[in-house]
Amino acid sequence: MLLNVFMRFIDTHTHIYLPEFDGDRDDAVKRAIDNGVVKLLMPDIDVRSAPSMVSAAERYKGTCMMMAGLHPSSVQADYLEQLREKEILAADRRVIAIGETGIDLYRDTTYADEQVISFRRHLEWAVEFNLPAVVHVRKAFPEVFSVMKQFKGTRLRGVFHAFSGGIEEARKAISFNFMLGIGGVVTFKNSSLGKIVSETGPDHILLETDSPFLAPVPFRGKRNESAYIPLINRKVAEIFGTSEEKCAEITTGNALKMFGKDE
C-alpha cells in the first residue's frame, strides 16, 4: 500500500503497544514509516499498560512518542493510586501530552464522579507541564465542557480524540483551543463526521487511527494500524476539495503545532 512517500504524516493517536501488535510490532512500525507516517503518538491507558508503552517509546525512539494519563474507562476504585503514578510519569521529559483522559458515560456510570475528579486532575497537569491534553468523551460532552470551563484563560490546549459530537460541540471544543481528532470513522459510508469536518475547516483537524481500533475503509472490521493514516487523509482531502498533498501538509502542520516541544 506504499503511497506518495513525499507526504509526511503524524498519527496523533495509536495504541501500537497493545497485545494486538505483539506478533508484528516491528513490521507495523516499518509499514507506517514506509507510508510516510513519521511519528506515532501513543496515549496512555493505565498502570498495567504503561510499561508496554514506555518500552515501545524506547525501542522506537524518535518515532513512537508517549503520553501520560488514566483512561476514563480505567477509573476504578484504585484511581487515586493510579493518578499518583501517572503524575510521576507526566513529569518525564519524554512525555509529549497528557492523556488520554476525559469522561465516558456510555456503558458504565459507576465511577462518574471519580471520572470528573480524574479529568480535572489531568487538565491541571496539562497546564502545569504546558502539554496538550488528549480528551476521550462518550455521552459526556456537557460534563467535559463543565470541567474545561474552569480552565478558561489558562494555557490549556489539546485534542478531542475520535471526535463524536455535532457541529455545536465542535465549535465549543475549538473555542477552548482544542482540535478535533479524525480517524477511520470519517471513511464509513453512513458517517456524519464528514459534514462536521467540512464545517470545521482544515486548520482544526488532526489525523489519527486509534489503532488497533476503528480501521478505515477498506479495512473496516480488521485490525487498524498507523500505515492507514494516508487513507484517512485521502478522505479528508476529498471532503475539503483539496489535494492529498495539501491536506497532509495542513494536518501534519497542525499536529506539529499542537504536540511540538521546544526541545
Indicate which CATH number applies to the domain containing 198. 3.20.20.140
169 falls within a domain: yes
pLDDT at 83: 98
Number of domains in the chain: 1
pLDDT at 4: 47
Which pTM value belongs to this model?
0.96
CB 144 within 8 A of CB 134: no
4 falls within a domain: no
Tell me the C-alpha distance between 125 and 97, whole Å.
Answer: 10
Strand partners, 14: 211
Residue type, 128: E
**Which pLDDT band holds residue 263 (cuts at 50, 70, 90)?**
very low
- Per-residue pLDDT tens over the stretch 24-48: 999 999 999 999 999 999 999 999 9
**Segment 91-120 mean pLDDT:** 97
Residue 1, pLDDT above cutoff 80: no
**Segment 163-182 mean pLDDT:** 97
132 falls within a domain: yes
Domain holding 148, by residue range, is 9-259
- Per-residue pLDDT tens over the stretch 122-146: 999 999 999 999 999 999 999 999 9
**Segment 50-65 mean pLDDT:** 98
**Segment 36-64 mean pLDDT:** 97
222 falls within a domain: yes
3 falls within a domain: no
Strand order in the sheet with 9-11: 9-11, 37-42, 64-66
Mean of per-residue pLDDT scores for the chain: 96
Cell numbers linked to 258: 499542537
- Per-residue pLDDT tens over the stretch 146-169: 999 999 999 999 999 999 999 999
Tell me the C-alpha distance between 82 and 100, whole Å.
Answer: 14
DSSP strand pairing (205-207 vs 64-66): unpaired
- 145 CB-near residues (< 8 Å, 6+ apart): 172, 176
CB 213 within 8 A of CB 228: no
93 falls within a domain: yes
**Which pLDDT band holds residue 261 (cuts at 50, 70, 90)?**
low
2 falls within a domain: no
Residue 6, pLDDT above cutoff 80: no
153 falls within a domain: yes
